[in-house]
Every structure is written in structure tokens, then in C-alpha cells.
Structure 1
């Protein structure tokens, strides 16, 4: 409900408006009627209406004087003038005084209702605008921390012009930066041995916020700028130290303090890169990029460290370059070596990468070259889906060389296990094929080891080794046993002559057959047949 005053020196007019208009029906509440502007103005000291409907000609204080006083002291009150004077100068004065409506008397009840409807609609629109603006202001206040973070991120990551920097620093109430300036970037290594719930992400967010609180306490104490990037890194901006050595010492001290507290009290680790110093806010992106470059050396040196770009700049052009044939060596070791030999190979490879201190991109290329060699080897050996999928992009999942070393050892062990299983399966298949060949061709007198190896596509030395491993007998022993077993069957179930049986089992010389049979069965072929006949 909007509150209304009626101000008119004619009581009949006031009474008529009170009686003929259902104020509440139109969204208004009539809270007072007064004979002149002075009385209305006095009451407004403690009760201010939303609308004043006033006559123009009144004693002590007329309508225009009242409008002037209200406009000066209560500019938000809507003023409507009713007058019987149809003169241009009154209308001009009313416009200057920002009177909402200037209505000529007499006015009917119907016209008054239309007027009230119009006034209410206008006031509703103004109220809605104020409400929207109020809501937007509250939203802006709530969003200010995030807006400040995004501004600082743009400043440090992309760079801004001086005018915009000054304007935004003033808007967010930040202390202007002064030379020298320096950026440090902190990144969480991992969350230690905690059982992190990855389904909701709440646990990781709480831990990230805890790390931010550690940095925030230090930043507030040291008067530093702190913000989080979209990649969840924590960035500190140092400013105002003219001595470059002192500035670096301050950055190392604070970075080491933050690293220590997070490790000791939160039980997980961060690595922090310290960038190069710069003189102006426009140069902050250079310091930021160099801090990221320093942070990249975590890959070579390990986690939970403060890494300064000054420690890595000016190095010689990587004189101890990693060997170029690690990929070829890996393929050879995987094909012919043991798992222990492969692990030793990987440890040597990683140790050389660390020693070389090559940049991160170059280091990753060396690793991917080795992984590609491993992928090609698995394909050459026909492992297919027997070996778990290996991808070149797997290296980007890890933050340190030590993690990649452990992953490579696990991956190569899996590959070699698959190779071993594949070889065993292939060998067993070939041995079975050889046994079938022997049992089919045992009657051929000139069957030889060379014939058999050609049939199963294996070298005689390797075949002899694996055949003995799988059957417990040499080729000759196995062939002789098969021939003797077949001969026994013939001696038991046929009346064939001994020389005929010898020929049937691959011996052209019956005497040689008899000697071998006696050695195998402990008796001559005749004795064997006679004994079996008696038992039957």
C-alpha cells in the first residue's frame, strides 16, 4: 500500500475525496488530510507519505511552496497538484519543481480513480526498478571476491593496460603495485595417503580451501596479493621491494613457510615456482610464465619443493643429452630380457633424464618415444588386446619423473607377462603339433628332428629345449617310446611276423628293432608275445 496525504484548504474537497474514493481498492492508504502546506510539512517530520495530492492556492503555504519544500527534502515523494487556475506560469513552476501531475479542477471521481491507477502503475515500476537494482547490488557484493580473482588472473596471466590496472585497483580497494614485483605459483602435488572421495569432489575442495587458507593468512600478514587460477593454482604477487636480492629472499622465505605448514599440518604437499622479478604491473605475465617454467622442473626433481627460475636459467645447452637409442634398447630388452633387466633399464633411462635437466617438453618427447617403441613391440609380437591399452598421452597424467618411472615399470611388467603367456601358449601349441606329427609319421624310417622342426617352424636347438621341458623326453626318446607302444599293440593283437612289425613302426633292420624293444620292454618281442598269450 502506498501512503497518501490530501492537502486542500477547502474541507468539502477533502471530505469528498475521502468518501468517494475507495483508496485501498486502488492500492493506497489515506493517512492524513491537511488545510495547508505548512501543517502537512510539519507532520512529514515523523510520517512521510508516498504521494501528496495538494491544491495550489492555500493560506500560510500554497501548493507550489509545498512542492518546493518536498522536492528539496523528500525528493522521492510524488507530488500531484490540483488547481482551478489554468495559467501557463503555474504549469511552468510545477514542471521546474518536478511535480508529477498538474490537474485542473473540477476533477470527477472517475478521473481521480484513473489518476490513482496511473500513479500506482508508475510507482510500481519505480519500486520494481529499485528492487532490481538492490538485488543486483547485493549480487555484485557477493560476486566481488570472484570478480577480484578474475581481474588479478587477467592481470598476471594475460596482462592489462596501465589505465585499466589503475581503475580496477581503485575499484577493488587494492593497494597499487610498485617496483619491484614478482610472482610465485603454487600447485598441489597430491593429497597424500587420504581416502579421497572422488564421486562428490567435496573432500578435494575442502583440502584445496585449507591450502588456500594457509596462503591467505601469510598474504594478509605480508600484504601480498593472492588469488586462485582456473587451474586451481595459488598465485602470490610480491611488490614494493627495490632490492632484487631482498625480494627473492622474501619470496623464498614465504614460499618455504607455506610449503612447510601444508606438509606438516594438512598432511599433503605443494610445489611452488618462483618467477623472475619485473618492474611494472604490465610485465607481470613475464614473471608468471617464468614461475610456471620453474614449477615444471618438479617433473625432474620431485614434489614438495620450492623451485626458482634463477636456479635453472643460464644452464649450458643441456650438454648431457639423453641417449637417442633408448627406444631401440627397450624393444630389445622387452623381447629377450627378464622383468628385472627391464626394470634396471627403465631406472637407468629415468636417471639419465634427471641428470640431463632437459626442459619438460623435451623430456616428455624422450619418454613418448620410448612408449611408442613399447607399443610397436607389442604389435610385432601380436599381443593385441592381451596387453592393456597404452597411450602416448598417458605421460600427462603424472607430475614427476618418479611417478612415470613407477608407471613404466608396471606397464612393461604387464607387457612382458603378456609376452611370456603368449610365448607359452604358442610353444605349447607347437609342441602339440609336433606330437601329432610324430604319432602320425612314426612308421617312417627316415623321420628326423629336422623334418619335425621344419613342420612346426622352430629352430632345432630351441625345439629340443622346449620339447624336453614340456614332455620330459628328447625327440628320439619320445619317438622310440611311441614306436615301442605301437609294436606292443601289434604283438598282442596280430600274428604279424617280427620283421613285419619292425617295418610297420619305422625300423628297416629287424635285429636293431629287437635290441631296442628288449631295452624298452625288458624282454625280446617273442618273449613279450608269448607272455601276453599265456596271460590272455
Structure 2
């Protein structure tokens, strides 16, 4: 039976539709309702309805905005719009969004059932025939390979009774040596499958901070093993179809870890190696090597080496091993990338001076000298889309506060079609333009929360949100904290983050 979700700001209409139709008899499941688009989105993501019935005029997020988002994020969902306004512009926008039905209120329960039957018949007539996936493990592997469409992911997960829904995902690749740890790992309920000599674990959670805590606990568990287990951790993603991106990151991180662990010095200093693995995230260095800019160099080094600054009793041996790990990671990256011999010739004599580094200031200087030629090369040899991507970022940096900023407007400013731009950006950067814009807005919101006494609704407006409720929902979804909790958190940790 097809699942139906209703969105309407009038409680009387919601109750009437819910109660006057015998849903089971008609072959449908009424799985829930909400009073506006903002409230509906997380519920729709959770319940995964087949059909969404929505009003147009609602507070916070209207029906057309909701329909646009659903068509982008859940394209399999069919949308029926109920409008109390006989205006051509509404109908024209609905047609552009490609909603299934556009109906004027009032609509009788009999008419609505007829519309639902029609939509269901069209769905069944045009239904895709998917190859059956027999086991959960096979589904998890296909997710990591990125070989399933959004519609197919939902279809296969439903058939196998797998709950894939979450707000955040990350992939962990671990060497297959888990006999003593399996029970402990199982407590985190990862989605797991075996791949050659490795286990692949898909971690998920609705709150980013909780997922980060699970990841930290898993790292602690793996590094406390004697000897520490080899693992690679992927990026945190917000869509299940992007699990493949996290998986590729995890495999890459696993490869770097294996290269570093093969060095003999680690066998003599397991405690140092364990602390290093627990204290910093090598993925950040690899990401910076791929996408970093010279203007970000100082900030990156301070961030990447922050645990060195916070370490009260810093021994020369610990500093040496941190920089040796840093150097080996760079060397491995160079060997796997298309850097020319000139870059390698610059790096090699610097590597030989590693043992001379004794202080934190010398460490910063060493890291700068190692990274700068690579960043210069990267900027000179950046892909043919590098200039275009920089233009997009410049547009967003200049106009993130504009709530009307859209993909179409950005595309017009850089003189390219919206669909082509979206495809290029996603492929090159591993995230959508919308995600980058939201991240930019959230980072600016954090700055305002730290540096001003502005009220939440004022900050929301300054970073491009017309609705403070939706801003608060997005902020908590991305940080795991309310704006008030974030301000308190910053105040409590401010004294601990200073560098000397």
C-alpha cells in the first residue's frame, strides 16, 4: 500500500482529511501530517511516504518551496498540491516543479480519493523494475559503491527491512581483526559488510554531535587494541546517496594509515603512535592538500596541530613523530597524485631537516615550507573548472546574506546553465552548491553568535534566513546544539583555545 503524508496549516482540514477517508480500505496508509513545510521535512524524511499532499499558502515554508526541496532530495515522492488560490502564477510554478496534481480547494474526500487512485495507477504503470538485492550486506556494499539511485535505495531498504534514515552518515574501514572487539562494536549498531581483508562499517545518527561522539569512541576502541588496529575514517555526509563519498574517503585514509604503519619506527613507539591516532584527524590534511588555498595556510596549521599546543609536557620525541607522520602523509599523497618532479625536489631536502625541529615555532615554519609549494602547484594546475568554482564561492561569500540567492542566480552570475553548474560543482567538490551555501551561512552565524549580542532572529536575517524557526532547525541539525547552547559552549571553552 502507498503511504500518504499531509501538509496543511489548517488543523480542521488535516483532521477532516485524516478521518473522512477509510485509508486502509482504499489501499493507502496515512502516515502523518504537519502544519507547514519546515515541520514536514524531517517527518517526510523519517516516514518516507510515496505521496505528499500539501497546501500552498503556509507560514514558515510554503508548499511550493517544500515541493522543490522534495523533488531534489526525494525525487520518487509524488506531490499533490491543494490550493485555495485560483492564481495562474501558482499553477505555473507547480507545473515547473513537475508536481503530479494541482487542485483548487475545497476538495471533497471523494475527489481526493479519485486523485490518489490516479496518482497510484501512474506510479504502478511507470514503476521501475529493480534487480533484487538478497542480503543486507549486499545493500550496504552497493550503497558504498554508489550504484543505486535514491529511489532504488528506498525500495531495497524497504524490502530488506533496513532503517537507513538518518541526518548524518560516516563510513569506517577497519582491518579484519575484530574477533575480540565485535561485541563492543556491535553496541554502536553499525551497518556492516566484509570486503576482502577489511570490515566496512556505516555509522549513522540524527544528531551530528552524537555521531562525532560515536566516531571518537570507535577510534578509542581501535587504537587501544594492542597493536592498534589499522583503520580509515570517511567524511560525514547528510544524504544516504552520498555514503559512497564517505566510503571513498575512508578507503583513501586507510591507504595512508597502512603506508604510515609500515614504517619501522612505529614498532618501537606504540604508545606515541596510539596517542597520535587518537589526537588528530589525518583526513583534514589530505582534504587541505586537495582543496586548500595559500590564504588558509596559517589557520589550517594552527588547527591541525592544535593538540600539540594544548599538550603541557611536549617531548621532542612526540613532536618528531607528529611531524614524521605529517611528512609521510605528504610523501604518500605526492606519490599518488600528479605533482611534478619539481615539487618533489623541493620537499625532499625539507624532509631531511625534520630532526632539527625542536620548538612549536620551528614546527610551524617546517609545515609551512612543506605545504606552500604544493598549494602553489595546486592553484596553478587546478582543474579546468577551478576558476569557475572560485567564482561560485565568491558569489556566495558576497551574497550569502541574501535569502533569495538561488542556484539559477549564481549560474547567471558565472554565465553558465544551472544544471551544468550544479553537476560540475558536485563532481569537483563532493558537495552541492546548496550544501556549501548552507555551510557558509552556518559558519557566519557561529561568528555572529561569538562576537555579537544579536538576537537569534537578527542573526537568522543577517545570514540569509527569512524564518528564524527554520534557521534554528538548520543550526541544530548541523551543530547538534541550539544557538543558546552554542554560545554557552563557546564561552566555556574560550580560555582553552588560546595559543602561546
When normalised by structure 2's length, the TM-score is 0.29
When normalised by structure 1's length, the TM-score is 0.27
Q: Which has the higher contact order (CA 8 A, sep 6+)?
A: 2
Larger-Rg structure? 1
